[in-house]
């Protein structure tokens, strides 16, 4: 199985990808990963979707709504951020924007004068720190070594920091089997009570929602695409019935079934 994820080696996405396959390549952005899978270049792509502290990775939500792909698995991993540098003499602290946000209080209290810089990934920030003593990175502590030491460990806001990743696959691999399903709906209408109506098909059939997120459609201000995750598989008749109702409500727009999947927990 060929897998593509956010690089370089040592990112949290890379750690999650190891649960899916051994033959792993890297890209610099989530959109580039989803693009490479949609075009059939790789069997699987691993992208971060949501963090327990910082919330959604919006680039990932937009990419799965835009490309013809399937979601075939969900990987949940704990996140343990370390501050990594050549020594204490740094002025700039770089990392992935999510990691900087997850460590906001620690950074404000301990390094109020440091310049914060968002870069493509956590492991990328360590590569920069390895080249430049004035830079520190934030990443998993396993990225230390080769001139880089752990200045501080466990620097995230709360100790329970977990991230959900999706394994995306070419659309032909979409499966109806699994305990969860992801759907994207664009109703392309606007009236009082619309959101209530969109949720009723699930409530009426006792289908639990695990996430509901709105993203701007890009068409006009106040117009949204809804990402809905449910605790039911596409193989279940209640899911089919709920989606038929949802499709009726969104007949002006579209409903995309991204697929059903199970969750894997990666402990380290
Ligand atoms: O940059 C990384 O290591 C990623 O995989 C993205 C990310 C960043 C912070 C928390 C979880 C995932």
**Which tens digits make up the pLDDT trace of 132-154?**
999 999 999 999 999 999 999 99
Q: Note the ipTM here.
A: 0.98
Q: Are 13 and 167 in contact (CB under 8 A)?
A: no
Ligand 1 atom nearest to 13, measured from its CA? 5
- Of residues 6, 167, 1, 4, the one with CA closest to residue 71: 167
Give the position, in ligand 1's atom list, of the atom nearest the Cα of 48.
Answer: 12
- pLDDT tens readout for residues 56-78: 899 999 999 999 999 999 999 99
> 116: exposed, middle or buried (C-beta count within 10 Å: 0-12, 13-18, 19+)?
middle
Choosing from 3, 13, 26 the residue with most ligand 1 atoms within 8 A of its CB, the one to mutate for a pocket test is 13
Residues with Cβ within 8 Å of 136's Cβ and at least 6 positions away in sequence, in order, are: 83, 84, 85, 90, 92, 93, 94, 114, 125, 129, 151
Total residue count of the chain as it appears in this document: 268
Q: Which atom of ligand 1 is nearest to the CA of 122?
A: 1
* Average pLDDT of the residues in 85-102: 96
The pLDDT tens digits for 8-56 are 999 999 999 999 999 999 999 999 999 999 999 999 999 999 988 888 8
State how far Cα 156 lies from the chain centre: 18
Structure confidence at residue 159 (pLDDT): 65
pLDDT 10s digits, 199-254 = 999 999 999 999 999 999 998 898 999 999 999 999 999 999 999 999 999 999 99
7 CA → ligand 1 middle, Å: 10
Q: Is the CB of 121 under 6 A from ligand 1?
A: yes
CA dist 31 and 227 (Å) reads 17
Would you list the DSSP string of 101-163? HHTHHHHHHH-TTPEEEE-S-HHHHHHHHHH-TTEEEEE-GGG-BTTBEEEEE--SSSS--EE
Give dist(CA 268, CA 16) in Å, integer: 9
Q: What is the atom index within ligand 1 of the atom nearest the CA of 123?
A: 3
In short, whether 98's Cβ falls inside 6 Å of ligand 1 is yes
Nearest atom in ligand 1 to the alpha carbon of residue 120 is 1
Question: Which residue's C-alpha comes closest to atom 9 of ligand 1?
Answer: 99
Domain ranges of the chain: 2-78+163-173, 82-153, 180-257
Q: Which atom of ligand 1 is nearest to the CA of 124?
A: 1
2-78+163-173 matches 82-153 in fold: yes
User: CATH assignment of 180-257?
Assistant: 3.30.70.260
Closest residue to atom 7 of ligand 1, CA basis? 12
Domain 82-153, architecture per CATH: 3-Layer(aba) Sandwich (3.40)
In this model, does residue 157 exceed pLDDT 80?
yes
> DSSP class of residue 46?
E
Q: How far is the CA of 30 from the centre of ligand 1 (A)?
A: 11
The alpha carbons of the chain give a radius of gyration, in whole angstroms, of 20
Does the Cβ of 13 fall within 6 Å of ligand 1? Answer: yes
In the chain, the percentage of residues whose pLDDT exceeds 90 is 93
For residue 68, the model assigns a pLDDT of 95
Q: Bin 154: left if φ > 0, else alpha if -120 < ψ < 50, else beta.
A: left
Q: Are 86 and 147 in contact (CB under 8 A)?
A: yes
Q: How far is the CA of 122 from the centre of ligand 1 (A)?
A: 6
Is 12 touching ligand 1 by the criterion CB < 6 Å? yes
Domain 2-78+163-173, CATH class in plain words: alpha beta
Question: 174 C-alpha vs ligand 1 centroid, how far in Å?
Answer: 25
How far apart are alpha carbons 178 and 68 in whole angstroms? 20
> Which pair of structure tokens corresponds to residue 142?
């396993």
């Amino acid at each position: 199985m060929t897998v593509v994820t956010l690089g370089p080696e040592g990112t949290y996405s890379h750690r999650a990808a190891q649960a899916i396959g051994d033959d792993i390549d890297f890209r610099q952005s989530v959109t580039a990963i989803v693009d490479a899978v949609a075009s059939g270049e790789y069997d699987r792509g691993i992208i971060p979707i949501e963090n327990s502290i910082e919330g959604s990775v919006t680039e990932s939500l937009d990419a799965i709504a835009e490309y013809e792909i399937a979601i075939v698995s969900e990987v949940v991993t704990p996140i343990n951020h370390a501050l990594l540098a050549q020594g204490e003499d740094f002025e700039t602290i770089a990392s992935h924007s999510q990691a900087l946000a997850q460590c906001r209080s620690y950074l404000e209290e301990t390094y109020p004068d440091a310049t914060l810089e968002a870069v493509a990934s956590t492991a990328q920030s360590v590569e920069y720190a390895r080249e430049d003593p004035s830079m520190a990175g934030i990443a998993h502590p396993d990225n230390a070594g080769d001139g880089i030491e752990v200045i501080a460990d466990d620097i995230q806001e709360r100790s329970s920091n977990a991230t959900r990743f999706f394994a995306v696959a070419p659309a032909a691999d979409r499966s109806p089997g699994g305990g969860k399903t992801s759907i994207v709906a664009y109703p392309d209408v606007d009236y009082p009570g619309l959101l209530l109506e969109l949720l009723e098909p699930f409530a009426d059939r006792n289908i639990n929602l695990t996430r509901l997120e709105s993203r701007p459609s890009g068409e006009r201000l106040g117009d949204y695409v809804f990402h809905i995750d449910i605790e039911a598989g596409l193989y279940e008749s209640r899911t089919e019935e709920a989606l038929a109702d949802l499709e009726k409500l969104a007949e002006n727009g579209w409903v995309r079934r991204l697929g059903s999947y199970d969750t894997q927990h990666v402990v380290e």
